[in-house]
Amino acid sequence: MNIFTLVGIIISFAVGVVGVVVGLGALLDAIHTIREHGKTLRERWRINRRPSGDRNVPWFTRHRSSESSEEINSPVSELLPHTTQEQYRLSYQHYMMRTILGGNITAPLSAAPAMIVDIGCGTGQWVLEVARAMPGSIVVGIDLEIPQVNMAHPYYPRNCSFERLNVLEPFPYMLQSIDYLHLRFMSSSIPLAMWSHVFHCLASYLKPGGWIEWVEVGAVFDGSPALNRLCKAWDELGRQRGHLARPGSQIAQTLQTLELINITYRPVRVPLGAYGGQIGRMTAQDGIAIFHALRPGILNLQTMTPQEFDWCLGQVQVELNDPRNSLQTTVEFAIAYGQRGTASPATVQAREKASASPLK
């Protein structure tokens, strides 16, 4: 073997080693990129994932934090507490309603609205999803507390925002400036005596041709004695605090007083219990969690002892989580929406005056 052959072998070996090193470096970079991309995607779609676990227990009761019983001070007499635990339930309820309604909006919008306002935005998930779906719209969520969302996240939609406002007070918006108003389960926050004033004020913010959509819970059908007793206690708690706990079709009657056009009432009855598949299990978990949250208020009525309440709730949990339950219980959700027409100058002036005057 001459010197040239030896040099050639050495050079070939060196080139091979360099190639292996470069290849390993590229592989490690690729693995790192995939892992980081995976983390980004998981964070991006975290809001759309449902936790797994025991279906017999609401998932939000398995994710308690040290703040789960800490109540947020609220100037409004509401039926449900402002706790971290309730925020978990609201997140779950959002996915449930999106599944039941087949989307986030049911009003027949002809085009993407320029200005959308979600009243009582809760965790802000409805706002975030609608803002992503309608990037050309400005979407604003209002509530007594700003939801804890990561606004610095790269996938946070830049066309949405949140404001701390009270629905019982006039908003800092110009009249006839909103294209679409959305409310869901606000009867527990708006006292029945204020419905007329509040909704006339809200209607004054709608542009001509703008829509208002309102979703509430209605009656329970074919419930067991234990479930019916808890529902009766829920209704009584609402009456004691000046609220209509389960208004049902009365939301459509309220919209009819606002001089709107194209008013539509759409009741949707769905299974309540594991016999009804995915939707039945979701409504059951949400309902059980609602009664957990209502327990302190119902016990304050002194119409049930703690032992009676806990027995009823335990019985309801067994019934609703039994896929062979023969009761076939259902719950009705009420959806109503209407469109603002062209109002007369006198009507507009009256609405402006009502919006400008503070609530007594």
Q: Comparing 13-17, 119-123, 153-157, 290-294, which segment has the lowest mean pLDDT?
A: 13-17
Sign of CA dihedral 28, 34, 36, 38: negative
Report how far residue 192's alpha carbon sits from residue 215's, in angstroms, rounded to the nearest whole number: 16
190, 235: one domain = yes
* Number of domains within the chain: 2
**46 token code pair:** 């975290």
pLDDT at 33 over 60: no
Average predicted confidence (pLDDT) for the chain: 81
Identify the band that residue 149 occupies on the pLDDT scale cut at 50, 70 and 90.
confident
pLDDT at 36 over 80: no
**Using CA atoms in the order 228, 232, 233, 234, what is the torsion angle rounded to 10 degrees?**
100
More confident site: 292 or 44: 292
Q: What pLDDT is attached to residue 26?
A: 47
DSSP string of 128-139, one letter each residue: HHHHHH-TTSEE
Is residue 293 within 8 A of residue 86, CB to CB? The reply is yes
Q: Comparing 40-44, 68-72, 300-304, which segment has the lowest mean pLDDT?
A: 40-44
Report how far residue 100's alpha carbon sits from residue 98's, in angstroms, rounded to the nearest whole number: 6
**Domain that residue 166 falls in:** 56-356
Is residue 26, in this structure, part of any structural domain at all? Answer: yes
332-351, pLDDT tens digit by residue?
999 999 999 975 434 555 55
- Among residues 111, 90, 88, 96, the alpha carbon closest in space to that of 277 is found at 96
- Among residues 282, 280, 191, 278, the alpha carbon closest in space to that of 242 is found at 191
Q: What pLDDT is attached to residue 67?
A: 35
Identify the band that residue 3 occupies on the pLDDT scale cut at 50, 70 and 90.
low
pLDDT at 38 over 90: no
Q: What pLDDT is attached to residue 181?
A: 97
146, 33: one domain = no
Mean pLDDT, range 144-148, rounded to an integer: 89
Exposed/middle/buried for 331, CB within 10 Å: 0-12, 13-18, 19+?
buried
199, 335: one domain = yes
Sign of CA dihedral 85, 91, 92, 94: positive
Is residue 50, in this structure, part of any structural domain at all? Answer: no
40, 75: one domain = no
Mean pLDDT, range 24-36, rounded to an integer: 46
Predicted TM-score (pTM) of the model is: 0.74
Type and span of the H or E element at 43: helix 3-44
Ramachandran bin of 177, using left for φ above 0, alpha for ψ from -120 to 50, beta for the remaining angles: alpha
90, 150: one domain = yes
Q: In terms of DSSP bridges, do strands 138-143 and 115-119 run parallel, antiparallel, or are they unpaired?
A: parallel
289, 190: one domain = yes
Report how far residue 216's alpha carbon sits from residue 185's, in angstroms, rounded to the nearest whole number: 5
80, 226: one domain = yes
108, 205: one domain = yes
pLDDT at 114 over 70: yes
**Using CA atoms in the order 85, 89, 90, 96, what is the torsion angle rounded to 10 degrees?**
170
Q: What pLDDT is attached to residue 56?
A: 34
35, 160: one domain = no
More confident site: 121 or 19: 121
55-80, pLDDT tens digit by residue?
333 322 223 333 333 443 444 457 88
pLDDT at 102 over 60: yes
DSSP string of 277-346, one letter each residue: HHHHHHHHHHHHHHHHHHHHHHHHTTSS-HHHHHHHHHHHHHHHT-TT-TT--EEEEEEEEEEE----HH
- DSSP-derived letter for residue 46 is G
Is residue 49, in this structure, part of any structural domain at all? Answer: no
6, 80: one domain = no
Mean pLDDT, range 218-231, rounded to an integer: 97
Report how far residue 118's alpha carbon sits from residue 183's, in angstroms, rounded to the nearest whole number: 6
89, 237: one domain = yes
Mean pLDDT, range 303-328, rounded to an integer: 95
148, 15: one domain = no
Mean pLDDT, range 36-55, rounded to an integer: 35
Identify the band that residue 151 occupies on the pLDDT scale cut at 50, 70 and 90.
confident
Q: How far is CA 253 from the centre of its chain?
A: 24
Say how many C-beta atoms besides its own lie within 10 A of residue 4's C-beta: 8
Q: What pLDDT is attached to residue 152?
A: 81
Is residue 34, in this structure, part of any structural domain at all? Answer: yes
5-25, pLDDT tens digit by residue?
665 566 565 545 545 444 555
- Among residues 255, 254, 269, the alpha carbon closest in space to that of 219 is found at 269
Is residue 51, in this structure, part of any structural domain at all? Answer: no
193-221, pLDDT tens digit by residue?
999 999 999 999 999 999 999 999 999 99
The CATH number covering residue 86 comes to: 3.40.50.150
Type and span of the H or E element at 11: helix 3-44
